[in-house]
A and B are shown apart, each in its own frame.
Chain A
Amino acid sequence: MKSLMMTAAIAGLLLWSAAVPLRLAAQAPSAGTAAPKPAPRMADGHPDLSGVWWRGSDIGGRGFAPGGGAPGGGRPAQPPPFFSSFYQPSAIAHAKTLSDKDDPTVHCTPTAFGTLNVSLFDVGAVGQIVQTPKFVVMLTETYHGFQIIPFDGRPHRDNVPPSNRGDAVGRWDGDTFVVDKNNFTDTTWISAEGRVSYHSDALHIVERYRRLDANTLEIEATLEDPKVLTKPWVVPKQTLQLAPFDQIMELSCSSSDTQSQKDAAPPQNSEKN
Chain B
Amino acid sequence: MKARLFAVFTSVLIALGTGVQAWAHHSFAAEYDLKHPITVHGVIAQVRLENPHSWFVVDVKDPATGKVDRWSFEAGTPSGMIRNGYRPGVIKAGDEVTIKGFQSKDSDVRGMLRELVTADGHVYGLFGPQENR
Contacts and interface: CB of A to CB of B under 8 A. Distances in A.
Q: Would you call the interface of chain B mostly helix, strand, loop, or mixed? A: mixed
Contact of B132 (A62, A192, A194): A62
Contacts of B95: none
Interface string A102-124: 01011110000001100000011
Q: Which of A13, A107, A193, A266 has the most CB of B within 10 A?
A: A193
A59 to B, nearest CB: 4
Contacts of B14: 59, 66, 115-116, 125, 193
A124 B26 CA distance: 18
Interface residues on B, range: 35 or more
Nearest to B69: A269
A181 B127 CA distance: 33
Given A100-B27, A266-B107, A60 B7 contact: no
Contact of A16 (B17, B52, B76): B17
Interface of A: 1-2, 5-6, 8-9, 11-13, 15-16, 19, 57-62, 64, 66, 100-101, 103, 105-108, 115-116, 123-126, 141-142, 192-194, 248-255, 257-259, 261-262, 264-269, 271-272
Interface of B: 1-8, 10-19, 21-22, 24-30, 34, 48, 50-53, 55, 57, 67, 69-70, 72, 74, 76-80, 82-84, 104, 106-110, 125-128, 132-133
